[in-house]
Amino acid sequence: MRSSELDYDLPPELIAQRPADRRDGSRLLVFDRATGAVRHRLFADLPAELGDSLVVINDTKVVPARLHLVRETGGQAEVLLLEPLGAGVWEALARPSRRLRAGERLGPVELLESLGEGRWRIRLDGEPEGEPPLPPYIHEPLADAARYQTVYASDPGSAAAPTAGLHFTPELLASLDVERVTLHVGLDTFRPLAVDELNDHELHGERYRVAPDAWARIEAAKSVLAVGTTTVRVLETIASAGDLAGRTSLFILPGFEFRRVDTLLTNFHLPRSTLLALVMAFAGVDAVRDLYELAIEEEYRFYSFGDAMLIL
């Protein structure tokens, strides 16, 4: 598959700049793969669409990972923490990367080694005390940092939110049969494609963990709803490899055989992204193109703070 097949035109005004007033007040585009039927619902209607599916959520918690720093020269720098490596060492993105040098000090950050593509190994004094790592297409300040966390976030370690889960309220969650997995969102989830052929895109891997009793429930469930693409990657990694903890570099493209995900809940993703490729693998390339065109016509809100899509 070529990355150009993941292109689409989105009017800028449809990029959501702030969360909905109520988490479950977002719109929900429902697509039934078996019949081709499409329904326009609210997220609060989700339980009525699911039947007895087991809902699997990613309980990772976003760390305040975006650090605005000052160089010794007085210039500005920014560090986005990606993954802790132990003993205060992190993998991070830093900019302006080409001007930075190993050994340079940026306040609480010491640059240790350039890893290429803007990635660095750094040492951080103390715990992260930055801002929520909002994506660059969000230009408005976030009034409440809690809105970039799911209500069930419990395991710190992500550099971005698993955004399909942002729509849940505690009350809605309590009405569903829920199981938890953990995948800490890192570079792989949000790094844009920079190659013409998707097979040439390199994944660095992200950390995941699933408790044995949780996997036993998931494996035995009649039907499984994966909340978000990160949850899909965890479930399909374990279904194919069997390891309940480790790193996953699973790259899901059209033609992939899904073994444990029956239903997918997801937001609307950026063009030329691995996330959009995964959704196309699940629902079909042409079907997803048509759904995105419809969502644009109906003025759904896109990306992290946008509306959701349920693929049955």
In this structure, are strands 66-70 and 105-106 parallel, antiparallel, or unpaired? unpaired
d(CA 273, CA 44): 28
Mean pLDDT by 10 residues, the chain (312 residues): 90 97 98 98 97 96 95 92 94 92 95 93 95 92 95 95 97 98 84 78 88 98 97 97 94 95 97 94 97 98 98 98
Determine the pLDDT at residue 190. Answer: 63
Q: Yes or no: say if 271 and 296 are a contact pair by the CB < 8 Å rule.
A: no
Q: Which phi and psi (to 5°) does residue 281 adopt? A: -65, -35
In this structure, are strands 54-58 and 224-227 parallel, antiparallel, or unpaired? parallel
Consecutive H or E run containing 188: helix 187-190
Determine the pLDDT at residue 196. Answer: 80
d(CA 143, CA 105): 31
d(CA 156, CA 277): 27
Q: Domains along the chain?
A: 3-62+139-311 (3.40.1780.10), 66-124 (2.40.10.240)
